[in-house]
Amino acid sequence: MASSSSDPDSTRRSQRPRWLRLAPFLIHPPALTPRQWHVLGLIAAASLFDRYDLALFSLALKHIQAGLHIAEGDLGMLGALVRLGAFPAVGLMLVADRLGRRRLLLATILGYTLLTGATAFAPDAETFVILQVGARVFITAELLLAAVVIAEEFGANVRGWGIGAVHALASGGYALAWGLFAFVDILPSGWRALYLVGLVPLALMTFFRRSLPETAPFASHQARQPSPTGYAAYLAPLGALLRAYPGRLVAVSALAFLCGFTESPALFFEPKYVQEVHHWRPWHLSLLGVSGGFVAIYGYTYAGWLGDRFGRKRVTLLCCGIAPLLIVAFYQAPGWLIAPLWVAMIFTLLGAQVSLATYSAELFPTSYRATATGIRSIMGTLGGVCGLAMEGLLYTTVGSHWSALSAGAGYVSHTRHCGLCFPRDEWSRAGRYRSRTLGAITQGGGKMGYTPTRQDGMHIPSLVLSQEPLLLPNATRLETEQPIERKRAATACE
């Protein structure tokens, strides 16, 4: 009789959406609640077209260069300037910690859609850069908020899988860009027509506005906090973050900088490299992007799944350590190795993105999780800008983009030992925190012995299914991340 009481919940968790059959790359799908599947699908759909815009810039670089008469030596600086759009995104993340994830997600979708469509009408390189910088502000904020929403809605035992899944589903935007790029030479307006496709999300805005919920942890946090008054209130999460977790923030930011330093230049010049050095045609690139990219996006879900089982830090450092070596190999390999090396490189880079996003989300509480994510993004963008600028400087010395890229990636590969000082994620092979809330993990301070109590405002229910502890659907709604002053006072009393 006791088992019958858990049957309704077990049945609800076993029901999976129909669209999951179209995503075979989502390996080992866990038993999620209907709300979690709903949120996952909405966030993935919202993220699809920002990936389209990101892919289009590098794919059509050669055509944009010819159409806007951009000098060869200015390409690296052009990419660096566009990536500067990620810096203002931290301001939107500060607002998300005060006004909510839902409002900002809707604003970012509208912003990047309008600016992507407007890029099709850019008359010169200066206008193109301005529009793409603006689009990058909203794209970056949307990507970061997507990871924050999944981190707050999913339990610890499936959080890595969830963040990997939303990134993998959103990669359909890359596939769309690669597929349409095959027709760039026959479309009436060439690359401009491809940017007009980015206006499609405007038709979905009403649906997103009705269907997208606020995350349960933020709704609970907002109910306990007074409404923000004045501009200073929006900066409060930044000050609290710097006082509470400076070491964690520096460590995560350093890793994000190194990843951006190698990843951004490598992906920016990759289409140009295969077209000029190996004489690939646009349809060759499309074939590689659709077929090889389908294999590569398994890196998202594999990295998330492995992180759920063996720890975020281990998987993050593994992916970040292998990626620079694969970049060097890709830009120095003979033609017959280009395709398999490209798949391996993208697989590893995608895995690094997911594992780092999950790792950093669990290091900071709800009250300034979005702010910390924004700062991590800024450092990653700064690394990308520095990497592109360094590539431009090295190009003037060595006379080859490909040698310059290999030199930069090779240098970063020697800095992998700095990962030893990164914060320890709360994990053991036995999965000790699988039934803990996100608030419990962040308050643990990296100590495996920490156990939240009723006095801390914590309630951590667990449900045993198949002899494995599982977080209840509403467990994250009950978390309470107490103010820094209370935590310090409690520590002093102990």
Mean pLDDT of 254-271: 85
**Same domain for 414 and 458?**
no
**Same domain for 342 and 488?**
no
Q: What is the pLDDT of residue 192?
A: 92
Q: What is the pLDDT of residue 227?
A: 59
pLDDT at 448 over 70: no
**Same domain for 446 and 340?**
no
**Same domain for 408 and 442?**
no
Task: Identify the residue with better confidence: 145 or 443.
Answer: 145
Task: Identify the residue with better confidence: 124 or 493.
Answer: 124
Residue-averaged pLDDT of the chain: 76
Give yes or no for a contact between 435 and 420, defined as CB atoms under 8 angstroms apart.
no
Give yes or no for a contact between 320 and 263, defined as CB atoms under 8 angstroms apart.
no
**Same domain for 347 and 465?**
no
Cα–Cα distance for residue pair 493/270, rounded to 1 Å: 57
pTM, rounded to two decimals:
0.69
**Same domain for 366 and 241?**
yes
Domain that holds residue 253: 32-208+234-421
Q: What is the pLDDT of residue 2?
A: 43
Would residue 72 count as lying in a domain? Answer: yes
Would residue 6 count as lying in a domain? Answer: no
Would residue 344 count as lying in a domain? Answer: yes
Q: What is the CATH number of the domain that holds 315?
A: 1.20.1250.20
Q: What is the pLDDT of residues 301-346, one digit of tens each?
A: 888 888 888 888 888 888 888 888 888 888 888 888 888 998 898 8
Task: Identify the residue with better confidence: 226 or 27.
Answer: 27
Domain end position, chosen among 387, 421, 455: 421
**Same domain for 239 and 342?**
yes
Would residue 226 count as lying in a domain? Answer: no
Mean pLDDT of 345-369: 84
Cα–Cα distance for residue pair 323/346, rounded to 1 Å: 8
Mean pLDDT of 69-96: 80
Q: Compute the Cα dihedral for 446, 450, 453, 456 and give only its sign.
A: negative
**Same domain for 389 and 463?**
no
Q: What is the pLDDT of residue 451?
A: 35
**Same domain for 103 and 52?**
yes
**Same domain for 187 and 318?**
yes
Angle, vertex CA 465, rays to CA 464 and CA 470, nearest 5: 60
How many folded domains does the chain comprise?
2
Would residue 221 count as lying in a domain? Answer: no
Q: What is the pLDDT of residues 281-308, one digit of tens each?
A: 878 887 887 787 778 778 888 888 888 8
Would residue 111 count as lying in a domain? Answer: yes
Q: What is the pLDDT of residues 91-116, one digit of tens each?
A: 888 888 777 888 888 889 989 999 99
Would residue 16 count as lying in a domain? Answer: no
Domain end position, chosen among 395, 421, 447: 421
Give yes or no for a contact between 95 and 104, defined as CB atoms under 8 angstroms apart.
yes
DSSP state, residue 288: I
Cα–Cα distance for residue pair 32/12, rounded to 1 Å: 8
**Same domain for 483 and 377?**
no
Domain end position, chosen among 390, 421, 452: 421
Q: What is the pLDDT of residues 210-223, one digit of tens each?
A: 888 888 788 887 77
Other C-beta atoms lying within 10 Å of the C-beta of residue 148: 28
**Same domain for 351 and 483?**
no
Angle, vertex CA 329, rays to CA 325 and CA 331, nearest 5: 120
pLDDT at 486 over 50: no
Task: Identify the residue with better confidence: 436 or 206.
Answer: 206
What band does 437 get if pLDDT is binned at 50, 70 and 90? low
pLDDT at 468 over 80: no
Least confident of 36-40, 147-151, 442-446, 469-473: 469-473
pLDDT at 206 over 80: no
